Chain A
Amino acid sequence: MKQTIIPLGPYHPLLEEPEHFKLYVEGERVVDLDVEIGYNHRGIEKLAEGKTWDQIPYLVERICGICSTSHPMAYCLAVEDLVGCDVPKRAQLIRVVVCELERLHSHLLWVGLAGHFIGYNTVWMWAWKYRETILEICEKLTGNRNHYAMFKPGGVRRDFNKEQIEYALEHIVDVEKPIRMLTGAILDDPVIHKRLKGIGVLTKKDAIDYSALGPTSRGSGVPWDVRWDEPLDGFKDLKWKVIVQKDGDVFSKSVVRLLECFESVSLIKQALLNLPEGEAIDADIKEVPPGEGCGRYEAPRGEVFHYVRSDGSNMPYRHKVRAPTFNNLPTFKASCKGETIADVALITASIDPCYCCTERVAVVDKNNNEKILREKDLLRLSVDKTKSVMKKLGKTPPLYNMEI
């Protein structure tokens, strides 16, 4: 059969990071896939070599707008590893609260977008409505809805006062109920089951071979979670569990994300209730000796890894940053093979990278018959498939029309 190459990407004005996918298809089936990144390379590692140790948290915070605290967290852990200092327990628990709030809003954002993509705009609107409550808690606790600027090597920059803690404890309960409802609505829906199950399977072996991270690996039965594997001291007393699903399809990854939301809510509650009174929030690092350190932390999308080397000056000699999507993107080569084009859009979204992949799609035939498929068309392909699944199940397709 004639093989066709379909480029997917690279820009989408709504979402983060552009990337470009080249799909090699035979008819509707994808036989191979090639990923290109680097459209938005900002040279953060080079910039970090010219910034002082205290300035870098602000720099790395801007790597990602959604996991904006995971990068400073991993960086601070790396510097603390280098210096060899202990962080006060109060500071650690404040870090846990901020990081888990971030995980909650990131997962809900993903659930909403995934709903939008398969044509369930109600899920989209609901998920983002409840996400708003979390962003308000973030604002109350840190002063910002995003880019919290809470961390510094050795501790945190701001303490929580009593009023803030009460506000957070009161409102986090408001989130739990809607998430339970949302989870029930999604996990019990036969259409979503049909649409997501068995799609884009990443086997356990492939997950290990590619060293997939975060929900991508946990959805494939590999129980890697840095919070569990390399816990902060403050984390050890908190009760929670790692969510693992075996099937490796898009559905499993969704289940992992949804169930992790409950663990996050529980962690936030426990951390806020157990904050030790009157403790310092900063270990007060005076200088960074020559040496090297690794810091890693579980961001919503997987492990963030930072490596720093110091030559004893006030700036790092080298600062290496590895975001989780760097390890997760190559897994498409394994999970997209044999799937249809309508599903690939969903699979690429399932690792929660960025939807930018879908902005410009061009179908180019080997005989130079050109045809352009854009984000709209791709979305329609996906929505149409959901509609046909609904018809088969005897359900009425949604009344609204997708106008994008």
Chain B
Amino acid sequence: MSKRENGKVMKDLKKKLKKKIIDIAQPREKRIYIRVEPEKTPEVVEYLFSKYKCKFCTASGIDMREGIEIIYHLAREDKNMVINVKTLVPYSKLEIESIGRRIKAFRWIEREINEMFGVIFKGHPDMRRLILPDSFPKGKYPLRKDFKNSDVTDEDYDYERSGI
């Protein structure tokens, strides 16, 4: 894919998403980073997935101290681009609307982010734990920066919940 066409994707996205995003950057030829408010995120990601024909790669949560940053990684394979949609969910209100409600591909990763960071995805059809055991203590989020291994001891596990 030529440089010019990569620029085209950028221009196209800028035009289409102008009103919904905070900013858009292309630090390297094949990578685009879009910053969005949490309320507008589902709309932007769903547009990219359904209308802009992007493939869903994954989503990452990052503990940024003022909140949890969620990055949705999407890839437009025929144009050879990875488009990342970033949003910061503040600690004061750890909630964001679920994209998995309408698009199946997002369901598992939202469950993972929920148990690892404690972000609530509103409207998610199936919010059970995905990776952590059912007996893992509630209210502990392993991938947050303030979590230490010593925070969870054997006594904290609630084995009754897992049926052991």
B107 near A: Cβ within 8 Å?
A: yes
- Picked from B31, B58, B63, B107, the residue with its CB within 8 Å of the CB of A81 is B31
Kindly state whether residue B119 has any CB partner on chain A within 8 Å: no
Question: A210–B80 contact, CB under 8 A?
Answer: no
B28 touches A81 (CB 8 A): yes
Q: Is A394 an interface residue (CB 8 A)?
A: no
Q: CB < 8 Å: which of B84, B108, B143 contacts A294? A: B84
Q: Which residues of A contact B84 (CB under 8 A)?
A: 294
- A38 in contact with B131 (CB, 8 Å): yes
In the complex, are the beta carbons of B58 and A330 less than 8 A apart?
no
Instruction: Decide yes or no whether B120 CB sits under 8 A from chain A.
Output: no
Q: Which residue of B lies closest to A40 (CB)?
A: B131
B131 contacts which of A41, A84, A318 (Cβ < 8 Å)? A41
Contact assessment for A317 and B104 in the assembled complex, using a CB-CB cutoff below 8 Å: no
Q: Is the CB of A277 closer than 8 A to any CB of chain B?
A: no
Q: Is A29 an interface residue (CB 8 A)?
A: no
A224 in contact with B58 (CB, 8 Å): no
B140 to chain A minimum Cβ distance, whole angstroms, is 13
Q: Which of A175-212 contact B (CB under 8 A)?
A: 208-211
Chain A hits for B129, CB < 8 A: 38
Residue of A at shortest CB range from B106?
A211
CB distance from A264 to the nearest CB of B (A): 21
CA distance A255 to B104 in the complex (A): 27
Give complex CA distance A230, B77 in Å.
8
The answer to whether B31 touches A327, judged by C-beta atoms less than 8 angstroms apart, is no
Residues of B within 8 A of A117 (CB): none
Taking the closest CB of chain A, its distance from the CB of B22, in whole angstroms, is: 17
**Is there a chain B Cβ closer than 8 Å to A402's Cβ?**
no
Please indicate the chain A residues that have their CB under 8 angstroms from the CB of B104 in the complex: 209-210, 330, 333
- B7-37 CB mask vs A (1 if < 8 Å, else 0) is 0000000000000000000011011010000
**Which of these binds chain B: A125-133, A301-309, A363-371?**
A301-309
Min CB distance A387 to B, Å, is 37
CB distance from B73 to the nearest CB of A (A): 6
Kindly list chain A residues whose C-beta atoms are within 8 Å of the C-beta of B28: 81, 84
Given the known A-B contacts A81-B28, A209-B104, A330-B108, are A317 and B82 also in contact in the complex, defined by CB atoms under 8 Å?
Answer: no
Q: How many residues of A contact B (CB 8 A)?
A: 33
Q: Nearest chain A CB to B87's CB is how many angstroms away?
A: 15
Q: A46-B142, A296-B57, A322-B58 are in contact. Are A291 and B130 (CB under 8 A)?
A: no
The closest CB in chain B to the CB of A206 belongs to B104
- Contact status of A309 and B62, CB under 8 A, knowing A210-B105, A294-B31, A296-B57: yes
Q: Per-residue 0/1 for B74-92: is the Cβ within 8 Å of any A Cβ (1 yes, 0 no)? A: 0101101010100000000
Contact of A211 with B55 at beta-carbon distance under 8 Å, contacts A81-B31, A84-B28, A294-B31 already known: yes
B56 interface contact, C-beta 8 A: yes
Q: Are A318 and B55 in contact (CB under 8 A)?
A: no
Choose one: B75, B78, B109, B131; the contact of A37 (CB below 8 Å): B131
Measured CA separation A224–B78 after assembly (Å): 9
Cβ distance B125 to chain A, nearest Cβ, rounded Å = 12
Q: Are B58 and A317 in contact, with the CB atoms below 8 A?
A: no
A229 B82 Cβ-Cβ under 8 A: no
In the bound complex, do residue B60 and residue A320 qualify as a contact, i.e. CB atoms below 8 Å apart? yes
Tell me the minimal C-beta distance from A355 to chain B in angstroms: 21
Can you name 20 A-B residue pairings with CB atoms under 8 Å? A38-B129, A38-B130, A41-B131, A81-B28, A84-B28, A209-B104, A211-B56, A230-B80, A292-B33, A294-B31, A307-B58, A307-B73, A309-B62, A318-B60, A318-B63, A320-B58, A327-B58, A329-B108, A330-B107, A330-B108
- Interchain residue pairs A-B with the least CB separation, the first 8: A320-B60, A38-B131, A322-B58, A211-B56, A211-B105, A229-B77, A318-B62, A305-B57
> Assuming A37-B131, A330-B108, what are 7 further A-B pairs, CB within 8 angstroms?
A38-B131, A209-B104, A294-B57, A305-B73, A307-B71, A309-B62, A318-B60
